[in-house]
Amino acid sequence: MDLSYGEAAETFRAEVRAFLSLHWPPPSDLRGGDLKQFVRNFRALATEQGYLHRAIPKRYGGSEQPVDVIRAQVIREEFQRARAPMEVGGNGMNMTVPTLLEKGTEEQKELFIRKTVEGDYIWGQGYSEPGSGSDLASVRTKGELSADGSKWIINGQKIWTSQGMQSTHMFMLVRTEPDAPKHDGITYLLIDLDQPGVTRRPIRQMTGEEGDHTFCEFFFDNAETPVSWQVGERGQGWYVSRTTLKHERASIGGADGLGKQFAKLVDLAKEVGRIDDPIVRDKLAQIEGSVLSHRYSSYRIFSCAAAGEDPGPVALMMKLLLTEIGHEMALLAQELIGEHGFLEPAGAGGRGNRGPRGPEKWLDQIMGSLGNSIAGGASNIQRNIIGERGLGLPRDLAMSGER
Amino acid sequence: MHFHLTEEQAAIQDAVRGTLADSWPMERVHAFADGDADFDRTSWYALMALGLGGMLAPDSGMGLLDAALVCEVAGEAAAAGPLIGQLLAVAAVAASGRGDAEALISGKTIATLIHGGSDYAPSARAADLFLIVDRAKGVRLVAAADVTIEAVKAADRTRPMSKVSIADGTGEALFAATDQMTGRLADAALVLVAADALGGAQKVTDMSVAYAKEREQFGQPIGRFQGLKHQLAHMALDVEPARALVWYAAYAWDAQLPDAPRAAAMAKAHLCDVYVRATRAAVAAHGGIGYTWEYGLNYWFRRAMADRAWLGSPAEHRARAATLAGW
Ligand SMILES: Cc1cc2nc3c(=O)[nH]c(=O)nc-3n(C[C@H](O)[C@H](O)[C@H](O)COP(=O)(O)OP(=O)(O)OC[C@H]3O[C@@H](n4cnc5c(N)ncnc54)[C@H](O)[C@@H]3O)c2cc1C
């Protein structure tokens, strides 16, 4: 076993560092639009250098590098160290682009990938509906072909769309074959959200935040999308949506985030003068046992990915583990902030509530941990997946449409 | 980066698993548990014949990770014998150059581990040597002749502890408290107990999953019921990711990373809690049969309790880890 990346990787690291020291950070006098443009240029340069968008062919705006998880990790580490921006995040990069690369037509790739990579197109995930959450395959939003067969006409409703207010486009699951079995009547469509048949309404989240973190509901009233924007075959949308999962590469990112948050929790305990309390120390170390299990398991998954081996059921567990640790941290944080818990964190609530952020800022995390237990597949569904796919327990046949 | 097992390591685990399965069918476990021996010669020599004794000898080409993988399988089997003490005694004797490492490596001489400040050691009546590892006083090797053993009825029936008393200053001092080997041996012991706990926790999870697939109630395998499915998923969620914690602690020890002592403390604390939780959940998942002596789950529960108490409780090691982190 060896956790070092080897000599070649270290040479590469030096190269990345040299690049960063030349091009990042921006000069201190940049502001507003200029800064935005600087970041855009920096990303373009880093892509040209082969550091960003490595899996994406050059003709769609990527850098077309061979798969190399070690290099990818070195880049991630060095960019994080320098606090340099990596790819624009979000559904577009994580889901739309990999799905199109695998299942999209040439036209779709040309139309969408570069614009997504450069941050011009922002994608909403149009899966959930008021009646279809965990039972995702039960979606009812209807897609019908226009008389001339050139367009899909969409009617129905989507809900809980993260970043819905900013989204320019959506990838969505619609029912096109009402008489087919549940999983075989769904088609995967891309749609422009800026058209008369689409109405969006923000839904305020329990954190009270507005803006980026608000999700939306969407109403489709004879909204249209060209048939050429259908990804995969008609009726095969469920299976297209599954391919995205394959692209969910093992990433140490989640573990890094968790580690940082845990360090902040330790700081909180110091800040409020409770770090010497043996019970607090014990609880912190207890949580850290899980944090480290999560971190080293991500190494394990990452290492297997690098060697093209199967890490086994642990890969199915990382989301739920993250959620559970988040809850544990939230509980301890809640205990530590004491009466600061009476206060709304600055920036939340959307009532012009600004000013310095004290220990009450943990309320964001505490409430956020509740969101994590729902978004991207509720915890019970994760337990089903671990039980059935991970442990091979018999499936409940009534529940085969879970997300 | 390579943070997964090699084919060779998997093969070693399989070999040990096979040997222990031959040595310890459930009838033999029952017979051993109901007898009053604290050691089983046949299974011991079968294990030693695999050449495992010398894994922690400095020139073996193996390391604590390999030893941990073996202890994990021994934990799966809840195997009898002072395996952890033997492996550490070889490391200690070979590194100090005092004593006969060869006789220990072959298993002919049997060594057991006693933790500084403790009154108990496993397989004490069979042991020729007692390796005392004490962070505060150093490491000593004491011959059985200089040890007084008092019989007790041990709760852990597959790795019974006896009460022992050893007068201060007897035997041979191998390392002073200030010698870094003292800390390293104490840390290695923690990692190996964590590995034993990992193996046991995985075993009872596997037993529960297998049972849930075959046991029927209400006309269906009980594993189809979501209440139980989720409980089993939770057991697996507790155990499987913790595996990497043991690997890391062993790796950090082998590579002599600065955080090795802390990783060892975290692994021991975390895995021993996991093991107790897993065995409790396993008994529940089995229903009445799980509560019987006959079925055998109780051996792993007892081992979980013993692992937890051995070498210091989880709370004690978490307190150390907190201090080591500078909190
Ligand atoms: C912060 C956040 C962001 C989100 N972003 C998006 C987005 O961008 N796009 C999008 O499409 N969706 C999004 N969602 C929706 C999310 O995917 C769904 O909320 C989730 O899948 C659960 O569906 P539901 O809300 O309909 O709950 P339900 O499916 O009604 O579940 C309610 C409860 O019943 C339980 N349950 C349901 N079925 C089972 C079962 N078979 N076994 C056991 N328990 C069961 C669940 O665990 C849950 O506790 C987001 C949600 C949140 C909270």
How far apart (Å, rounded) are the C-alpha atoms in residues B266 and A258?
17
**Residues A163, A187 within the same domain:** yes
Q: Identify the residue whose C-alpha is closest to ligand 1 atom 2.
A: A375
CA A327 to chain centre: 19
Structure tokens at B304: 């979980």
A147, A278: one domain: no
- Phi/psi-derived region of residue B48, left when phi > 0, alpha when psi is between -120 and 50, beta in every other case: alpha
H or E element, residue B195: helix B180-214
Determine the angle formed by the axes of helices B260-286 and B314-324, rounding to 10 degrees. Answer: 150
Q: pLDDT, tens digit, for every residue of B227-249?
A: 999 999 999 999 999 999 999 99
Of A68, A87, A106, the residue at which a domain comes to its end is: A87
Sign, CA dihedral B152-B154-B157-B158, equals negative
User: What is the distance between the alpha carbons of residues A50 and A68, in angstroms, rounded to a whole number?
Assistant: 12
Residue A389 confidence (pLDDT): 93
The pLDDT of residue A251 is 43
Instruction: Give residue B284's identity as a one-letter amino acid code.
Output: A
A96, pLDDT greater than 50? yes
Nearest Cα residue to B204 out of B270, B295, B315: B295
What tens digit of pLDDT does each residue of A380-390 get?
999 999 999 99
Of A266, A296, A306, the CB nearest to B1: A306
Q: Does residue A295 sit in helix, strand or coil?
A: helix
- Please report whether residue A240 resides in a domain: no
Share of chain B above pLDDT 70, in %: 100
Provide φ and ψ at B123, rounded to 5°: 50, 35
**List of E strands, A15-150:** 123-126, 142-145
Residue scoring higher pLDDT (A396 or B186): B186
Indicate the residue type of A194.
D
The Cα B180–Cα B178 span in angstroms is 6
At A187, which CATH number?
Answer: 2.40.110.10
Q: Is A203 in the pocket of ligand 1 (CB under 6 A)?
A: no
Interval between CA A134 and ligand 1 midpoint (Å): 5
Q: How far is A76 from chain B (nearest CA, A)?
A: 15
Q: What integer pLDDT is reported at residue A396 of this predicted model?
A: 79
The pair phi, psi for residue B127, each rounded to 5°, is: -75, 140
Mutate to test the pocket of ligand 1, among A127, A134, A193 (most ligand atoms within 8 A of CB): A134
Give the pLDDT score at A348: 62
How far is B25 from B276, CA to CA, in rounded Å? Answer: 23
**DSSP label of B236:** H
A201 has a pLDDT exceeding 50: yes
* CB of A403 shorter than 6 A to ligand 1: yes
Q: Which pair of tokens denotes residue B259?
A: 């955080």
- What is the pLDDT, as a whole number, of residue A158? 98
Say yes or no: A347 and A223 in one domain: no
Last residue of a domain, one of A70, A87, A104: A87
| Ligand 1 atom closest to A378 (CA) | 47
Q: What is the mean pLDDT of residues A344-366?
A: 75
Q: Are B158 and B165 in contact (CB under 8 A)?
A: no
Computed over every residue of chain B, the mean pLDDT equals 96
Q: Which candidate, A77, A91, A90, places its Cα nearest to that of A16?
A: A77
Q: What is the pLDDT of residue A351?
A: 52
Q: How far apart are CA B325 and CA B250, in angstroms?
A: 19
One domain for residues A274 and A345: yes
- Cα A5 to chain centroid distance, Å, stands at 27
Tell how far the Cα of A157 is from the centroid of ligand 1, in angstroms: 16
User: Tokens at residue B245, please?
Assistant: 């914690």
A210 within domain boundaries = yes
Phi, psi of A159 (to 5 degrees): -145, 160
State the nearest Cα–Cα gap between B152 and chain A, in angstroms.
32
pLDDT number for residue A243: 73
Of the candidates B223, B261, B201, which has an alpha carbon nearest to the alpha carbon of residue B64?
Answer: B261
Q: Is the pLDDT of residue A72 over 80?
A: yes
> What is chain B's percent helix, strand, coil content, to nearest 5?
60, 10, 30
Nearest to A317 among B209, B237, B270 (CB): B237
Rounded to 5 degrees, what are φ and ψ at A230? -80, 130
Flag whether A289 is in a domain.
yes
Query: What is the ipTM for the molecules in this complex?
Result: 0.93
Q: Is the CB of A163 under 6 A from ligand 1?
A: no
A242 occurs within a structural domain: no
What is the pTM assigned to this prediction? 0.91
Look at residue A52 and tell me if it is in a domain: yes
What pLDDT, on a 0 to 100 scale, did the predictor assign at position B175?
98
Q: Which helix (H) or strand (E) holds A256?
A: helix A253-271
Q: How far apart are CA A387 and CA B224, in angstroms?
A: 9
Domain check: are A263 and A390 in the same one?
yes
CB atoms A297 and B212 under 8 Å: no
Element (H, E) at B150: strand B147-150
Among B214, B237, B275, most A C-beta atoms within 10 A, so best to mutate, is B237
Q: Could you say which of A44, A63, A87 is where a domain stops?
A: A87
Give catalytic status of residue A248 as yes or no. Answer: yes
Is residue A249, in this structure, part of any structural domain at all? no
Ramachandran class of B233: left when φ > 0, alpha when ψ lies in -120 to 50, beta otherwise? alpha
Distance CA A192, CA A220 (A): 11
Please give the Cα distance from A311 to A298 (Å, whole number).
10
Nearest CA in chain A to B8: A1
Could you tell me the residue range of the domain that residue A21 belongs to? 7-87
- Taking each helix axis from N to C terminus, what angle separates B260-286 and B242-254, rounded to the nearest 10 degrees? 150
For each of the domains in chain B, give its residue range(s) and CATH number, in order of start: 7-175 (1.10.540.10), 180-325 (1.20.140.10)
Among B263, B273, B327, whose Cβ lies nearest the Cβ of A275? B327
Could you say which of B237, B248, B255 has the minimum Cβ distance to residue A320?
A: B237
- What pLDDT is stored for residue A309 in this prediction? 85
Residues A122 and A173 placed together within one structural domain of the fold:
yes
Please state, in angstroms and rounded to a whole number, the distance separating the CA atoms of residues B236 and A302: 20
Helix (H) or strand (E) holding A156: strand A151-162
- Shared-domain flag, residues A362 and A260: yes
Are A40 and A80 contained in the same domain? yes
Do residue A393 and residue B232 have CB atoms under 8 angstroms apart?
yes
Is A387's CB within 8 Å of B322's CB? no
Half-sphere exposure of B220 (CA within 13 A, CB side): 13
Kindly report the CATH number assigned to the domain that includes residue A350: 1.20.140.10
Over 50: is that where the pLDDT of B215 sits? yes
Distance CA A68, CA A42 (A): 22
Q: For A134-160, write each residue's pLDDT tens digit.
A: 999 999 999 999 999 999 999 999 999
Q: Which residue has the higher pLDDT, B123 or A398?
A: B123
| A352 and A372 share one domain | yes
d(CA A284, CA A329): 8
How is residue B157 annotated by DSSP? S
Q: Which whole number is the average pLDDT over A188-215?
A: 87
A264 and A380 in a common domain: yes
* First and final C-alpha spacing in chain A: 36
Report, in angstroms and rounded to the nearest whole number, the Rg of chain B calculated over CA atoms. 19
Confidence of residue A346 (pLDDT cuts 50, 70, 90): confident
- Which residues on neighbouring strands pair with residue A223, listed in sequence order? A154
Mean pLDDT on A108-122: 96
Give the number of residues written for chain A.
403
At residue A349, the pLDDT reads 55
pLDDT tens-digit map of A308-339: 888 889 989 999 999 999 999 999 999 999 99
Q: Is the pLDDT of residue A36 over 70?
A: yes
How many Å lie between the alpha carbon of B28 and the closest alpha carbon of chain A? 29
Is A244 within the bounds of a domain? no
Element (H or E) spanning A258, and its range? helix A253-271
Q: A107 and A208: one domain?
A: yes
Number of structural domains chain A divides into? 3
Q: A366 and A281, same structural domain?
A: yes
Checking if the pLDDT of A67 tops 90, the result is no
**pLDDT exceeds cutoff 50 at A73:** yes
Bridge partners for A231 per DSSP? A188
Strand A230-231 with B138-143, pairing: unpaired
What's the DSSP call for residue A216? E
DSSP A1: -
Average pLDDT, chain A: 90
Q: How far apart are CA A111 and CA A93, in angstroms?
A: 15
DSSP A356-386: ---GGGHHHHHHHHHHHTTTTS-HHHHHHHI
A207 CB less than 6 Å from ligand 1?
A: no
Cβ distance of A304 and B4 shorter than 8 Å: yes
- Who has greater pLDDT, A357 or B126? B126
Task: Give the position of tokens 């996991």.
Answer: B274
Q: Other CB atoms closer than 10 Å to residue B206's CB: what's the count?
A: 16
Q: Which of A266, A270, A271, A268 is nearest to A291 (CA)?
A: A266
Count of CB atoms situated within 10 Å of the CB of B272? 29
